[in-house]
Amino acid sequence: MNNKRAVALAILLLPFSGAALAQQAPAEPADGNAELKQEIEAQKQRLAVLERKLELQQEAAATAAASAPRITANAQRFQIASSDNSNFIRFRGTLFADNRAYAGDSAPETADTFLLRSVRPTFEGTFAGIYDFKFTPDFAGGRASVVDAYAAARFKPGFVVTVGKFKPSVGLERLASEPDLRFMERGLPTFLVPNRDLGVQLSGDFAGGAFSYQVGYFNGVADGQSSDNLPSPDVESDTGGDYAARVFFQPFIDSDNFNLRGFGFGIGSTWQDLDGVATNPYLPSYRSQGQLNVFSYRGNTATGTTPNNATFADGERLRLAPQLYYYRGSFGFLGEYTQVKQDVSRNVGGTTLSDTLTHSAWQGQFSWFITGEEESFRGFTPQSTFRPGKEGTGAWELVARIQELDIDDDAFAGGANSFANPLTAISKESSYGIGVNWYPWNTVKLSLNYDVTRFDGGAATGDRADEQAIFSRFAINY
Amino acid sequence: MNHPNWKRRLLLAMASAVFIGGTAGIAQAAEVTLLNVSYDPTRELYVDFNKAFAEYWKKKTGDTVNIRQSHGGSGRQARSVIDGLAADVVTLALAGDVDAIATNGKLLPQNWEERLPNNSAPYTSTIVFLVRKGNPKKIKDWGDLVRPGVSVVTPNPKTSGGARWNYLAGWAWAKRQPGGSDETAREYVRKLFKNVPVLDTGARGSTTTFVQRGIGDVAISWENEAWLALKELGPDKVEIVVPSISILAEPSVAVVDKVVLRRGTRTVAEEYLKYLYSPEGQEIAARNYYRPRNPEVAAKHQELFPKLELVTIKEFGGWAKAQKEHFGDGGVFDQITTQ
Name the B residues in 273-332 with CB < 8 Å from any A CB: none
With bands split at pLDDT 50, 70 and 90, how would you rate the model's confidence at B20?
A: very low
Residue A237 distance to chain B (closest CA, Å): 14
Name the A residues in 225-254 with CB < 8 Å from any B CB: 239-241, 243
pLDDT at position B106 is 87
Cα-based torsion angle of the residue sequence A63, A65, A67, A71 in order, rounded to the nearest 10 degrees: 180
CA B120 to each of CA A373, B254, B259: distance values in angstroms, whole numbers, following the listed order: 61, 7, 19
Chain A residues with CB-CB distance to B17 below 8 A? 202
Three-state secondary structure of B26-82: HHHCCEEEEEEEEEHHHHHHHHHHHHHHHHHHHHHHCCEEEEEEEEECHHHHHHHHH
pTM, to two decimals: 0.65
CA angle B189, B192, B197 (to 5 degrees): 135
pLDDT at position A55 is 87
pLDDT at position B22 is 47
Chain B residues with CB-CB distance to A275 below 8 A? 1-2
* Chain A residue with Cα closest to B200: A56
Q: Do A202 and B17 touch (CB under 8 A)?
A: yes
B21 at A interface, C-beta within 8 A = yes
Residue A423 to residue A105: CA distance in whole angstroms = 17
pLDDT at position A432 is 97
Q: Do A60 and B214 touch (CB under 8 A)?
A: no
Return the closest-CA partner of residue B58 out of B38, B79, B92, B32.
B32
CA angle A210, A211, A212 (to 5 degrees): 130
- Assess contact for B57 and B63: CB atoms under 8 A: yes
pLDDT at position A263 is 95
Q: Do A275 and B198 touch (CB under 8 A)?
A: no
The DSSP result for A58-105, as a single string, is: HHHHHHHHHHS-EEEESSS-EEEE-TTSSSEEEEEEEEEEEEEEEETT
Q: Do A161 and B18 touch (CB under 8 A)?
A: yes
Chain A residues with CB-CB distance to B198 below 8 A? 49, 52-53, 56
Return the closest-CA partner of residue A323 out of A166, A170, A168.
A170
The total of other beta-carbon atoms located within 10 Å of residue A21's CB is: 9
A378 burial via Cβ count (<10 Å: 0-12, 13-18, 19+): exposed
A60 at B interface, C-beta within 8 A = yes
pLDDT at position B14 is 52
Residue A417 to residue A419: CA distance in whole angstroms = 7
B10 at A interface, C-beta within 8 A = yes
- Assess contact for A382 and A409: CB atoms under 8 A: no
- The per-residue pLDDT for range A270-317, each reduced to its tens digit, is 999 988 887 788 899 999 999 999 999 999 888 877 778 899 999 999
One-letter amino acid for residue A453 of the chain: T
The DSSP result for B216-227, as a single string, is: -SEEEEEHHHHH
Residue B171 distance to chain A (closest CA, Å): 26
The total of other beta-carbon atoms located within 10 Å of residue B31's CB is: 8
B23 or B269: whose pLDDT is higher? B269
Give chain A's residues under pLDDT 50. Answer: 1-4, 6-28
B21: pLDDT strictly greater than 70: no
Residue B23 to residue A21: CA distance in whole angstroms = 92
- Assess contact for A188 and A403: CB atoms under 8 A: yes
Residue A272 distance to chain B (closest CA, Å): 9
Which residues are within 8 A (CB) of B185 and not within 5 positions of it... i.e. 6 or more apart?
B171, B172, B174, B175
- The single-letter DSSP state of residue A277 is B
Chain A residues with CB-CB distance to B202 below 8 A? none
Chain B residues with CB-CB distance to A200 below 8 A? 14
Which residues are within 8 A (CB) of A168 and not within 5 positions of it... i.e. 6 or more apart?
A193, A194, A197, A199, A201, A216, A218, A242, A244, A270
B179: pLDDT strictly greater than 80: yes
Which one of A45, A202, A243 has the shortest CB-CB distance to B151? A45
Please give the backbone phi and psi of residue B284, each rounded to the nearest 5 degrees, phi first. Answer: -65, -40
Which one of A59, A155, A316 has the shortest CB-CB distance to B22? A155
With bands split at pLDDT 50, 70 and 90, how would you rate the model's confidence at B58?
A: very high
Which contacts of A423-427 are long-range, i.e. CB under 8 A and separated by 24 or more positions? Answer: A423/A458, A423/A459, A423/A460, A424/A296, A424/A458, A425/A294, A425/A295, A425/A296, A425/A297, A425/A457, A425/A458, A426/A294, A426/A295, A426/A455, A426/A456, A426/A457, A426/A458, A426/A463, A426/A464, A427/A456, A427/A457, A427/A458
Which one of B1, B197, B215 has the shortest CB-CB distance to A315? B1
The total of other beta-carbon atoms located within 10 Å of residue A348's CB is: 18
Q: Rounded to the nearest 10 degrees, what angle do helices B74-82 and B161-175 cross at?
A: 130
Which one of A159, A200, A241 has the shortest CB-CB distance to B7? A241
Chain B residues with CB-CB distance to A155 below 8 A? 21-22
Which one of B7, B22, B214 has the shortest CB-CB distance to A48? B214
CA A357 to each of CA A7, A326, A458, A459: distance values in angstroms, whole numbers, following the listed order: 145, 32, 18, 21
Q: How far is CA A137 from the centre of its chain?
A: 14
Lowest-confidence segment of A300-314, A348-362, B32-46, B122-136 by average pLDDT: A300-314
Mean pLDDT (chain B, rounded): 89
Residue A51 to residue A276: CA distance in whole angstroms = 81
* Chain A residue with Cα closest to B201: A56
Q: Do A239 and B2 touch (CB under 8 A)?
A: yes
A–B: how many Cβ contacts below 8 A?
61
B41 burial via Cβ count (<10 Å: 0-12, 13-18, 19+): buried
B258 at A interface, C-beta within 8 A = no
Are β-strands A78-81 and A70-73 bridged in parallel, bridged antiparallel, or unpaired?
A: antiparallel
- How many Å from the N-terminal Cα to the C-terminal Cα in chain B? 84
Are β-strands B309-311 and B127-132 bridged in parallel, bridged antiparallel, or unpaired?
A: unpaired
pLDDT at position A165 is 97
- The single-letter DSSP state of residue B114 is G
Residue B197 distance to chain A (closest CA, Å): 7
A49 at B interface, C-beta within 8 A = yes
Q: Do B201 and A239 touch (CB under 8 A)?
A: no
Residue B24 to residue B26: CA distance in whole angstroms = 5
CA A322 to each of CA A171, A216, A275, A287, A447: distance values in angstroms, whole numbers, following the listed order: 8, 18, 27, 22, 28
B10: pLDDT strictly greater than 80: no
- Assess contact for B113 and B95: CB atoms under 8 A: yes
Residue B302 to residue B290: CA distance in whole angstroms = 11
Which residues are within 8 A (CB) of A392 and not within 5 positions of it... i.e. 6 or more apart?
A384, A385, A386
The total of other beta-carbon atoms located within 10 Å of residue A257's CB is: 8
B22 at A interface, C-beta within 8 A = yes
Site from A47, A50, A56 to mutate, B interface, most B CB atoms within 10 angstroms: A56
Residue A157 to residue A440: CA distance in whole angstroms = 35
- The per-residue pLDDT for range B297-323, each reduced to its tens digit, is 999 999 989 999 999 999 999 988 999
pLDDT at position A1 is 41
Beta bridge partners, A439, equal A395
A382 at B interface, C-beta within 8 A = no
pLDDT at position B243 is 96
pLDDT at position A86 is 86
B14 at A interface, C-beta within 8 A = yes
Residue B80 to residue B71: CA distance in whole angstroms = 11
